Structure 1
């Protein structure tokens, strides 16, 4: 193997204090792709130098478990348990598309990794040698999908969940709410526990707001639930806030606005107004176990560059599932998995931006129109069925 000692300028200028604040503790983990829900593994349990690193359905074997050591300098080693070797940027590549394999542990920079918080319980894993993050190659959702390095995009195929192994935790439980491909539940589980009248927007700035499955009924001061512009949202999430266990009643007003990223979990829109959810400023947005009904235009609206991940949803009777603001060219990356989508009068994804990407997988469609409308950089689907 060719050996050199290039250190990216970005890694050099980041302070140790800042990186340590985002660090993963030393320990044994399974590492799960946010995009596919599949686990990082050394292919076929090989113990050979140069064995490939891929993704595969989690099965608890030691070639899917990794000993992560925090080196205390903003970087980590990641070593497969079965072989004791190390994740390694193959042949010291500095190029996007460079392969990730295992190699005998040397401790060199191509075996050291920055693990940085991406929000929502996910992290990026970037090589100290090249500065490039681990990437599920070509947005694969299949067993055996290759893992390579690629320039940072912030997309979900470059985000990973570290699940501790041991103490009775199998690292891959399907009931884990962080698993974006949990097949056991679609939509919200909330049954109304009472109602609350909303006269002004409820603002959630960081932290978590638990609605405890109450029904929130907006007053006419917020809007009338029509398609008219200028209505106010029922909730406004800011700075990575989480909203969970909420039912929005018959007057949906302008739904939920998200600023600087956030998470929506176990939410039901009884009667979508202008839009169910609108991304208002740049960030990563996660929606899981959601459902919505009766919106004549969009279910989700993207008004700013964003990465949007939707899982375990039920959406019926809309114009479109997602629309990027018309005439805009910023980049939106939308991933949808394990959803039932029906009665879209126009289609599922629509954009005017040649920079944006969309992917829908493991989902059921009925009378849903075209999957891809507009000038997408990439708009793909896999494992779709009818119902």
Structure 2
């Protein structure tokens, strides 16, 4: 293969210095100035532009470490934990487990998986600066962490190889979610309002609106008409929090770009609780809060990018999330659903596999029964999408049996 020919050429060119080079790798001190402890990072491969992740957001011991398009999943976020002077462990945010050189293998091509944190050298790395990028050298093997065979595909494995300074062995550290509120556990207890706020038309929000748990009411007719105005319109980057939305709620909240919806409660969804319209990529967050009585769906995703839903409670709904199946423009859309409670809800998420949508699920508690991931073939505007199946597949729908609890 091209990669192997490239490597053989490089190795022959430096045959007299290979041993010295490997020795140098083993003794170089890590550049701790690169790392901020306690910060969550996306590790972006310089060759592929994709991020390191634990496959399928698995929390299991031995789950593989691969690369995937960035989608906001906590399985793509890692922090560096000091393992002693000059050495670092890499800890996955969603599982709390370490990136581990599997079975202490020192061979080229040995894979990485996640494993509970230990004192083993196979979980320790030196961090080398290469311009604006870094390289990670395993303490046990002295070899570089890389994307195998220079792959640019989603799901390509993370492995090790002799240090050749290849772009597939270099990573960019991108701070992930440091300005995003932390996750909260879902509450099934409806909050008590602190007061009332009368609404006569759409409230436009830029920056942050903190409602102080006031009940905002009312707008629209409470029906399913898609022509209703939203109660709130959030500008790109805006945040709305601590709000109770009374019924009728019109078309809920419209996010024009990325947004954060924190601790917002819908008494009766009506049409949609929130619609995500932004087409500039990025991640919008729904953190905490809850919604009741959505005969169709709670969250509608018409734009692109990722919607991250965590700590949320939904009751008596058709779907918690739906990636639009027949909007004017077709996009790849991603959803990450973590730590939610669903009662009397038919479907957690519906996506369109022909457009490459993905849905990832962890810590889902279902009261009764629910389809976790419905798959459709999206259609042009004016046509209806076709239902083509449901369930985890490791391509579009990611979860395991341990991620779902039925009560």
TM-score, with length taken from structure 2: 0.61
| Structure 1 position 246 matched with structure 2 position 243 | yes
Q: How does 1:63-74 map to 2 (within 5 A)?
A: 73-74=131-132
- What is aligned with 1:286? 285
**CA drift at 1:288:** 2.1
**How many residues end up aligned between the 2 structures?**
305
Is the contact between residue 322 and residue 349 of structure 1 (CA under 8 Å) also seen in structure 2?
Answer: yes
Give the one of 18, 41, 54 matched to 2:99.
Answer: 41
Q: How does 1:172-321 map to 2 (within 5 A)?
A: 178=182, 184-186=185-187, 191-205=192-206, 207-212=207-212, 214-220=213-219, 223-282=220-279, 283=281, 284-321=283-320
Following the alignment from structure 2 to structure 1, what is the Cα–Cα distance between the partners of residues 224 and 294?
8
1:58-97 per-residue CA deviation (whole Å, 9 max, x = no partner) reads: 68988667665665x43233456x6595752256524535
**Deviation larger for 290-299 or 377-386:** 377-386
Following the alignment from structure 2 to structure 1, what is the Cα–Cα distance between the partners of residues 313 and 148?
46
1:350-376 per-residue CA deviation (whole Å, 9 max, x = no partner) reads: 345522232333212234443325247
- Tell me, which stretches of 5 or more residues in structure 2 are unaligned? 11-31, 42-52, 54-72, 76-93, 376-386, 390-394
Following the alignment from structure 2 to structure 1, what is the Cα–Cα distance between the partners of residues 209 and 125?
34
Change in 2 beyond 3 A, CA 1:111/1:277? same
- What is aligned with 1:350? 350
Change in 2 beyond 3 A, CA 1:25/1:299? farther
Name the SS of the counterpart of 2:289 in structure 1: strand
1:128-150 per-residue CA deviation (whole Å, 9 max, x = no partner) reads: xxxxxxxxxxxxxxxxxxxxxxx
Change in 2 beyond 3 A, CA 1:107/1:359? closer
- What is aligned with 1:379? 397
- What is aligned with 1:111? 169
- What is aligned with 2:113? 54
Is the contact between residue 144 and residue 161 of structure 2 (CA under 8 Å) also seen in structure 1?
Answer: yes
Name the SS of the counterpart of 2:288 in structure 1: strand
Following the alignment from structure 1 to structure 2, what is the Cα–Cα distance between the partners of residues 255 and 348?
19
More helix by share: 2
Who wins on radius of gyration, i.e. which is larger? 2
1:38-64 per-residue CA deviation (whole Å, 9 max, x = no partner) reads: 345124694946553323466898866
* Coordinate RMSD, CA, aligned: 3.9
- What is aligned with 2:145? 88
- Tell me, which stretches of 5 or more residues in structure 1 are unaligned? 6-23, 123-175
**CA drift at 1:281:** 2.4
Name the SS of the counterpart of 2:248 in structure 1: coil
| Structure 1 position 27 matched with structure 2 position 35 | yes
Name the SS of the counterpart of 1:254 in structure 2: coil
Following the alignment from structure 1 to structure 2, what is the Cα–Cα distance between the partners of residues 188 and 69?
49
1:9-42 per-residue CA deviation (whole Å, 9 max, x = no partner) reads: xxxxxxxxxxxxxxx9722547576344134512
Name the SS of the counterpart of 1:298 in structure 2: strand
Name the SS of the counterpart of 1:354 in structure 2: helix
